[in-house]
């Protein structure tokens, strides 16, 4: 049912030198499900050499032909999405319905880039001299090194792979060691669709070792990272030292603002769905709930009720609504954040505890009146805990929402067009979603500002991330 754990280098599935491996654990049971090879320098050199040669061929393959191969990959993803989803629930833990959705939507992302890659338009700039022709052309930036995390193993990988390939770049992707199975199956779809050897390469390893080696390599021209702000700072500094372009999709701490005039039932239902999806391990997850004083008690009661009713369990049980946390580190982190907030006086509305000792299960947790100094309100929680806070004036809530270094996503509920417009304009965030959840579609940009990173994945901006601009001025022909 699981997959054979391998690298994919220069069109070949390989365990590389295989001098080191690390166990892959099912987070619902704590059982080992496989041993993953970790790349050596020799393996990384092979991937770099392949990416350099792959770029030479792929960058001069027509956008039309690249698009046809990508569309074949999308069709294969649709055909195989159930197997990919099962691999993901096995090593990452999320409910199988969430895995299915993520796997299926990967096909949409690939198709979007397959289409958009054919529209990498340049322009002609009117010249001062009629004999001169001035062209602006868009070219693929070069071989890319990409690093993706364990929370959405397919989604995080597919946006980088499809964006790079559509633009004409080759790519080496270091996917998550803790949840590698579904990414291997995703890469298999590109291989079977006919992506030429060397264009796409997949490795696993000791993250800091791999990134340090790849980012320094003169072959790599672009670095795309999704993960924590702390790691993003380090990779950004290294990339800057070597003058590499970067896209950084980092941590977030999204405010969710419920105004006095909001539809409370809709707000509580969406808050619960968004907060506990993937057990809260989502960079755009709402993690600070600012609720107007006049509706605080009603919202807190309803949100608490809905959260308390969620069925937590093994992701393969189809009645499960929230799976385990993806690794034991998150359980410890959430226990510490909840203890800190409770010690400072936060009221536990529901949850607050680990469930059992087998697997990484934690109760969906809602805390009311969380004191401002609680760590949870400034550190990204990345888990199933929702602190509720009161506000009574729009200016003050916008100030609080903007007070952190993060700026990835923000959510708000209001019946007033004026308030919605003001929130949309004034929230310091790469993405704002009002009265619904409307983020992360293939055709729309996804990305943050401030310490949440820079650059976008998705939309036309997602293709731009892998293109550079060349100016050609010619005369005489």
Applying CB under 6 A, the residues found at the interface with ligand NAD are 147, 149-151, 176, 207-208, 211, 226-228, 230-231, 234-235, 249-251, 283, 329, 380, 382
Tally: H helices and E strands in the chain: 13, 20
**Exposed/middle/buried for residue 31 (C-beta within 10 Å: 0-12, 13-18, 19+):** exposed
Q: Which is nearer to ligand NAD, 157 or 283 (CB)?
A: 283
Q: Least distance (Å) from ligand NAD to the CB of residue 329?
A: 5
Give yes or no: 241 in active site: no
Q: Which is nearer to ligand NAD, 168 or 255 (CB)?
A: 255
Distance CA 93, CA 87 (A): 10
Laid out side by side, the sheet with 144-147 consists of: 12-14, 7-9, 200-203, 171-174, 144-147, 222-226, 245-249, 453-454
**Exposed/middle/buried for residue 152 (C-beta within 10 Å: 0-12, 13-18, 19+):** buried
Q: Which is nearer to ligand NAD, 325 or 388 (CB)?
A: 325
Q: Which is nearer to ligand NAD, 99 or 226 (CB)?
A: 226
Evaluate whether 390 touches 307 at the Cβ level (below 8 Å).
no
Q: Least distance (Å) from ligand NAD to the CB of residue 96?
A: 21
Q: Least distance (Å) from ligand NAD to the CB of residue 382?
A: 4
Quote the DSSP letter at residue 377: G
Q: Least distance (Å) from ligand NAD to the CB of residue 153?
A: 10
Distance CA 125, CA 69 (A): 33
Evaluate whether 281 touches 151 at the Cβ level (below 8 Å).
yes
Which of these is catalytic: 111, 178, 249, 363? 249
Q: Least distance (Å) from ligand NAD to the CB of residue 230?
A: 6
Distance CA 195, CA 54 (A): 10
Quote the DSSP letter at residue 401: H
Laid out side by side, the sheet with 132-140 consists of: 123-125, 132-140, 467-475
Give yes or no: 378 in active site: no
Q: Which is nearer to ligand NAD, 63 or 206 (CB)?
A: 206
Cβ-proximal residues to 59 (8 Å cutoff; 6+ apart), any chain: 139, 140, 168, 169, 170
Q: Least distance (Å) from ligand NAD to the CB of residue 42?
A: 19
The CB-nearest residue to ligand NAD is 227
> Which of 310, 279, 312 shows the shortest CA–CA distance to 382?
279
Q: Which is nearer to ligand NAD, 304 or 447 (CB)?
A: 447
Segment (H or E) for 299? helix 296-309
Which of these is catalytic: 87, 169, 259, 283? 283
Report, as residue numbers or ranges, the catalytic residues: 249, 283
């Amino acid at each position: 049912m699981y997959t054979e754990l391998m690298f994919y280098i220069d069109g070949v599935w390989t365990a590389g030198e295989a001098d080191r491996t690390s166990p892959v654990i099912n987070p619902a049971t704590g059982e080992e499900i496989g041993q993953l090879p970790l790349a050596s320098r020799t393996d990384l050199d092979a991937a770099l050499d392949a990416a350099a040669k792959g770029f030479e061929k792929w960058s001069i393959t027509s956008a039309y032909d690249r698009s046809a191969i990508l569309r074949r990959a999308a069709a294969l993803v649709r055909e195989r999405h159930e197997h990919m989803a099962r691999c993901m629930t096995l090593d990452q833990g999320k409910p199988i319905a969430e895995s299915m959705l993520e796997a299926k939507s990967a096909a949409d992302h690939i198709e979007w880039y397959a289409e958009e890659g054919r529209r990498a338009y340049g322009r002609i700039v009117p010249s001062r001299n009629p004999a001169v022709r001035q062209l602006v052309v868009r070219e693929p930036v070069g071989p890319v090194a990409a690093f993706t995390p364990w929370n959405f193993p397919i989604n995080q990988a597919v946006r980088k792979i499809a964006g790079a390939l559509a633009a004409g770049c080759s790519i080496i992707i270091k996917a998550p060691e803790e949840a590698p199975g579904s990414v291997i199956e995703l890469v298999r779809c590109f291989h079977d669709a006919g992506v030429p050897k060397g264009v796409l390469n997949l490795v696993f390893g000791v993250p800091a070792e791999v990134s340090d080696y790849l980012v320094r390599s003169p072959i790599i021209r672009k670095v795309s990272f999704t993960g924590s702000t702390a790691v993003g700072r380090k990779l950004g500094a290294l990339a800057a030292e070597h003058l590499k372009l970067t896209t950084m999709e980092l941590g977030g701490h999204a405010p969710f603002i419920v105004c006095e005039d909001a539809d409370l039932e809709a707000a509580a239902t969406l808050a619960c769905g968004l907060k506990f999806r993937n057990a809260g391990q989502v960079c755009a997850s709402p993690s600070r709930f600012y609720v107007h004083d006049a509706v605080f008690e009603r919202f807190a009661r309803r949100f608490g009720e809905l959260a308390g009713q969620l069925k937590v369990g093994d992701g393969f049980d189809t009645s499960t609504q929230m799976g385990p946390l993806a690794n034991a580190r998150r359980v410890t982190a959430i226990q510490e954040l909840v203890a800190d907030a409770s010690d400072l006086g936060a009221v536990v509305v529901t949850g607050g505890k680990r469930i059992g000792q087998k697997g990484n299960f934690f109760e969906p947790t809602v805390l009311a009146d969380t004191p401002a100094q609680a760590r949870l309100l400034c550190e990204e929680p990345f888990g199933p805990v929702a602190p509720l806070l009161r506000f009574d004036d729009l200016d003050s809530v916008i100030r609080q929402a903007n007070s952190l270094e993060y700026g990835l996503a923000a959510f708000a509920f209001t019946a007033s067009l004026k308030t919605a417009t003001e929130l949309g304009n004034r929230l310091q965030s790469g993405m704002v979603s009002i009265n619904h959840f409307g983020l992360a579609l293939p055709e729309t940009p996804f990305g943050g500002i401030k310490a949440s990173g820079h650059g976008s994945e998705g939309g036309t901006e997602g293709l731009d991330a892998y293109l550079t601009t060349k100016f050609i001025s010619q005369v005489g022909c």
